[in-house]
Amino acid sequence: MKKKVIIAIVGPSGAGKSTFIESMALPDYVYDGGQPLKDELNRRGLPVNHDTIFELSQQWYGENPFWQVPLMCKAIEGRPFLIIDGARRLPEVKKLKELFRIIIIAIVSTPEVRFERLKKRAEIFLNTKDEFARVEHDEMKVMDAKTLVKMADFVIQNDVSNEASLQNLQEKSRLLGFLLKTFL
């Protein structure tokens, strides 16, 4: 039997991963890797921000580096493919490679552009350059986003924060969505 397909969208916060995924127009095929963490923080009555998400993810991944894999396996049931928003740990992606055919697409952007985008998401992210540097360290060093980007089959540079850049990102995304619907 042919393995199902996972499309893992990787990259640092603020690069444009969610915008890319939304433009594919395939909401029934998306697994949001951050949602279980946000749900648990809400259940505990804690604020949902980078620090609380990171702390809880460190705890859960420390206890089981593959804790999300069963959730992803359940999400792909009855579907030929699944788009993962937020595959951010190397062991997790390696495990997914064992179980599925996987395409890794990295969305990347300069730190300056990402900082400006993240300031607009103040409910989750922080507003000073020092706080952004901590987010950058957490993602690149601790969560190993840099290695995941290097592993990508395709890298989309999304640096310019203007209408033409957004339109370009969305066009690429719509093409991928069309191909997925047509051929899988």
Write the DSSP symbol of residue 104: E
pLDDT tens-digit readout, 87-124: 778 899 999 999 999 999 989 888 888 888 887 776 65
β 81-85/5-10 pair status:
parallel
* Weakest-pLDDT range from 1-5, 55-59, 63-67, 151-155: 1-5
At residue 94, the pLDDT reads 93
> Can you tell me which residue has the tokens 């997925």?
180
At residue 98, the pLDDT reads 94
At residue 155, the pLDDT reads 87
Give the CATH number of domain 5-183.
3.40.50.300
* Weakest-pLDDT range from 30-34, 137-141, 179-183: 179-183
pLDDT tens-digit readout, 55-90: 999 999 999 999 999 999 999 999 999 999 977 788
What is the C-alpha separation between 53 and 146, in angstroms, rounded? 19
Cα-based angle 138, 170, 93 (whole degrees, multiple of 5): 40
At residue 96, the pLDDT reads 94
At residue 63, the pLDDT reads 96
Tokens of 34: 């951050």
At residue 124, the pLDDT reads 59
Q: In the predicted model, what is the mean pLDDT of the chain?
A: 84
